[in-house]
């Protein structure tokens, strides 16, 4: 019986390593076989699977300990250790008050624990996990059916365990998030206190704060939306392409076919330099580069920067959850989050379109990003975090808070700020007046 339980313990322990070490290539290989459906279903429920494995393993280990104690007691009765117990009682002062049978039982228990622990660690944990790691696919296939049965039998226990772990995890994450936020606030204050009073000290402080918050910024917050992206259609004549290049001043331009959701590649303007004298029928499409990088809106910009470095790219196409093109993001956009606006000979006097009426009144384009609005009015970029929801622009926040499409002169009170719609089209908020109530 003890031998059977040890085998069960080894199989359960090994299955944990086998299932959770399967990589994407292993999964793709398993999907090719129709008999692996049960295995893949188990892998799709990692928390329930892990809970079932842990509960099963604990039950088996407890059974092994109980049976081992019974076997050991039968093989070595307490009288067998009486002489040893007597020696302990006579020579160890804190055992003098205990009886010989009690000391004898303690010795038996200690030997049992050491022996069982050795068996469990070696044959129930180490060896099966080493084997499962080497033969993970084979081991996972072997244990798929037994684990499916155990998951069905222990479903109630595993659901309770998963629920508890989720609650604990959410509380820990919440605590870590609030602690992280407090830490960043403290560092912000420390930067303001320690920065020198020399010229350009404010810019230096902004760079330090930008580095501090760099890992929390999403691509969606800094990208250029598809409505504001300069791009060209595949069917555009060479003359028109040159005109777009000259007017935009960009070195890389996305090329699409019929619709911006159907991108064909990126046109590098430097590839056209030797062909500017060609006529409008010139085949400029031959220079379209297909090596495009697609990224989700939710990607962190610190991760994107690493990806740009590894793939030696300067531009990425941002896609939404439905696979549509949301816009583009460039290496320059990322760097500006740290060091501020990077100005070149093609930039206008201000990338942020706004009108300052007085110190407390500003008129912004509806598409203006909240981060840029905060920089213009001199406020922390996180002041709207609690109310903006999923929005990133001033118009988006207005729609998020009100929950309806507004009309001209519609107002939104966000004490100490007040937003008022100045102009709009049927589908878009064009200009918003932001007033600071002081």
- What pLDDT, on a 0 to 100 scale, did the predictor assign at position 346? 47
Which of 37-41, 51-55, 94-98, 120-124 comes out lowest in average pLDDT?
94-98
Rounded average pLDDT over 294-300: 88
364 and 334 inside one domain: no
Rounded average pLDDT over 319-345: 76
Residue 9 lies in a domain: yes
259-268 β-sheet, strand order: 232-233, 252-257, 259-268, 288-289
Which residue has better confidence, 107 or 160? 160
Encoding tokens for residue 223? 């990208």
Which of 56-60, 169-173, 314-318, 405-409 comes out lowest in average pLDDT?
169-173
Which of 299-308, 318-327, 378-387 comes out lowest in average pLDDT?
378-387
Place of tokens 């962190």: 300
Which of 173-177, 313-317, 319-323 comes out lowest in average pLDDT?
173-177
- What pLDDT, on a 0 to 100 scale, did the predictor assign at position 349? 42
Q: Is residue 179 scored above 60 in pLDDT?
A: no
Q: Point out which residues pair with 267 in neighbouring strands.
A: 253, 288
Residue 207 lies in a domain: no
Looking at the chain, the whole-number percentage of residues with pLDDT higher than 70 is 82
Q: Is residue 176 scored above 50 in pLDDT?
A: yes
Q: Is residue 199 scored above 60 in pLDDT?
A: no
Give the end of a domain, one of 153, 168, 203: 153
Which of 23-27, 240-244, 291-295, 396-400 comes out lowest in average pLDDT?
23-27
264 and 389 inside one domain: no
13 and 136 inside one domain: yes
Indicate the average pLDDT of the chain: 80
Q: Is residue 178 scored above 60 in pLDDT?
A: no
- What pLDDT, on a 0 to 100 scale, did the predictor assign at position 200? 58
- What pLDDT, on a 0 to 100 scale, did the predictor assign at position 368? 84
Q: Is residue 99 scored above 50 in pLDDT?
A: yes
Which residue has better confidence, 51 or 381? 51
* C-alpha separations of 137 from 123, 232, 243 in Å: 21, 49, 58
Give the CATH number of the domain where residue 327 resides.
3.10.580.10
Q: Which of 32-36, 75-79, 331-335: highest mean pLDDT? A: 331-335
- Which range marks the domain in which residue 140 is found? 2-153
Q: Is residue 182 scored above 70 in pLDDT?
A: no
Nearest residue to 434 via CA among 392, 395, 405: 395
Rounded average pLDDT over 338-350: 53
Give the end of a domain, one of 307, 339, 371: 339
CA angle 152, 157, 159 (to 5 degrees): 80
Encoding tokens for residue 38? 């049960």
Which residue has better confidence, 331 or 212? 331
Which of 38-47, 72-81, 122-131, 408-417 comes out lowest in average pLDDT?
72-81
391 and 291 inside one domain: no
Which of 96-105, 227-236, 338-347 comes out lowest in average pLDDT?
338-347
Residue 225 lies in a domain: yes
CA angle 356, 360, 364 (to 5 degrees): 45
- pLDDT, tens only, 2-15: 788 888 888 888 88
Rounded average pLDDT over 60-69: 82
Residue 289 lies in a domain: yes
Q: Is residue 345 scored above 50 in pLDDT?
A: no
The domain tally of the chain equals 3
107 and 57 inside one domain: yes
Residue 228 DSSP one-character state: G
Q: Is residue 224 scored above 70 in pLDDT?
A: yes
281 and 383 inside one domain: no
- pLDDT, tens only, 374-409: 888 888 777 887 788 778 788 888 888 888 888 888
SS (H, E, C) the chain: CHHHHHHHHHHHHHHHHHHHCCCHHHHHHHHCCHHHHHHHHHHCCHHHHHHHHHHHHHHHHHHHHHHHHHHHHHHCCHHHHHHHHHHHHHHCHHHCCCCHHHHHHHHHHHHHHHHHHHHHHHHHHHHHHHHHHHCHHHHHHHHHHHHHHHHHHCHHHHHHHHHHHHHHHHHHHHHHHHHHHHHHHHHHHHHHHHCCCCCCHHHHHHHHHHHHHHHHCEHHHHCEEHHHCCCEECCCCHHHHHHHHHHHCCCEEEEEECEEEEEEEEEEHHHHHHHCCCCCCCCHHHHEECCCCEEECCCEHHHHHHHHHHHCCCEEEEECCCCCEEEEEEHHHHHHHHHCCCCCCCCCCCCCCEEEEECCEEEEECCCEHHHHHHHHCCCCCCCHHHHCCCCEHHHHHHHHHCCCCCCCCEEEECCEEEEEEEECCCCEEEEEEEECC
- What pLDDT, on a 0 to 100 scale, did the predictor assign at position 128? 86
Residue 93 lies in a domain: yes
Residue 102 lies in a domain: yes
358 and 332 inside one domain: no
Residue 187 lies in a domain: no
Q: Is residue 191 scored above 60 in pLDDT?
A: no
Q: How many CB atoms lie within 10 A of CB 311?
A: 11
Question: Alpha-carbon distance 302 to 13, whole Å?
Answer: 38
Q: Is residue 234 scored above 60 in pLDDT?
A: yes
Residue 134 lies in a domain: yes
For CA atoms 224, 226, 227, 232, the dihedral sign is positive
Residue 342 DSSP one-character state: P
20 and 132 inside one domain: yes
- What pLDDT, on a 0 to 100 scale, did the predictor assign at position 312? 86
20 and 113 inside one domain: yes
306 and 365 inside one domain: no
- What pLDDT, on a 0 to 100 scale, did the predictor assign at position 339? 67
279 and 405 inside one domain: no
Give the CATH number of the domain where residue 384 resides.
3.30.465.10
Q: Is residue 289 scored above 50 in pLDDT?
A: yes
Which of 86-100, 123-137, 312-326, 397-411 comes out lowest in average pLDDT?
86-100
Question: Alpha-carbon distance 371 to 348, whole Å?
Answer: 19
Give the end of a domain, one of 314, 339, 364: 339
360 and 282 inside one domain: no
Q: Is residue 198 scored above 60 in pLDDT?
A: no
- What pLDDT, on a 0 to 100 scale, did the predictor assign at position 91? 74
């Amino acid at each position: 019986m003890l031998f059977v339980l040890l085998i069960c313990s080894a199989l359960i322990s090994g299955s944990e390593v086998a299932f959770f070490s399967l990589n994407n290539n292993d999964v793709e290989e398993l999907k090719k076989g129709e008999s692996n459906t049960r295995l893949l279903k188990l892998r799709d429920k990692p928390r329930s699977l892990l809970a079932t494995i842990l509960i099963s393993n604990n039950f088996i280990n407890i059974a092994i300990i109980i049976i081992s104690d019974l076997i050991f007691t039968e093989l070595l009765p307490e009288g067998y250790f009486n002489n040893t117990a007597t020696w302990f009682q006579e020579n160890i002062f804190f055992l003098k008050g205990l009886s010989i049978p009690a000391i004898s039982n303690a010795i038996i228990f200690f030997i049992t624990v050491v022996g069982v622990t050795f068996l469990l660690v070696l044959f129930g944990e180490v060896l099966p996990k080493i084997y499962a790691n080497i033969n993970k696919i084979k081991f996972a296939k072997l244990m798929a059916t037994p684990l499916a049965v155990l998951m069905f039998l222990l479903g109630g226990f595993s659901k309770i365990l998963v629920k508890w772990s989720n609650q604990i995890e959410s509380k820990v994450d919440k605590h870590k998030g609030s602690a992280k936020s407090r830490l960043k606030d403290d560092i912000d204050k420390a930067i303001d206190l320690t920065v020198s009073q020399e010229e350009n000290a404010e810019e230096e402080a902004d760079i330090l704060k930008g580095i501090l918050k760099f890992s929390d910024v999403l691509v969606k917050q800094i990208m250029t939306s598809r409505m504001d992206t300069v791009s060209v259609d595949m069917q555009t004549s060479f003359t028109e392409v040159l005109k777009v290049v000259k007017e935009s001043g960009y070195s890389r331009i996305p090329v699409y076919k019929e619709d911006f959701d159907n991108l064909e590649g990126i046109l590098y303007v430097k590839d056209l330099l030797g062909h500017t004298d060609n006529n409008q029928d010139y085949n400029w499409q031959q220079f379209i580069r297909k090596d495009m990088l697609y990224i989700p809106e939710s990607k962190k910009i610190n991760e994107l920067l690493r990806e740009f470095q590894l793939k030696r790219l300067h531009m990425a196409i941002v896609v939404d959850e439905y696979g549509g093109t949301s816009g583009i993001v460039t290496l320059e956009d990322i760097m500006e989050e740290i060091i501020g606006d990077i100005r070149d000979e093609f930039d206008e006097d201000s990338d942020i379109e706004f009108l300052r009426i007085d110190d407390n009144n500003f008129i912004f384009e509806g598409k203006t990003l909240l981060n840029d609005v905060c920089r213009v009015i001199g406020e922390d970029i996180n002041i709207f975090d609690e109310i903006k929801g999923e929005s990133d622009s001033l118009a988006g926040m207005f729609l998020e808070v009100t929950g309806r499409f507004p009309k001209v002169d519609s107002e939104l009170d966000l004490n100490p700020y007040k937003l008022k719609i100045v102009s709009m089209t049927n589908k878009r908020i064009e200009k918003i007046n932001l007033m600071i109530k002081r």
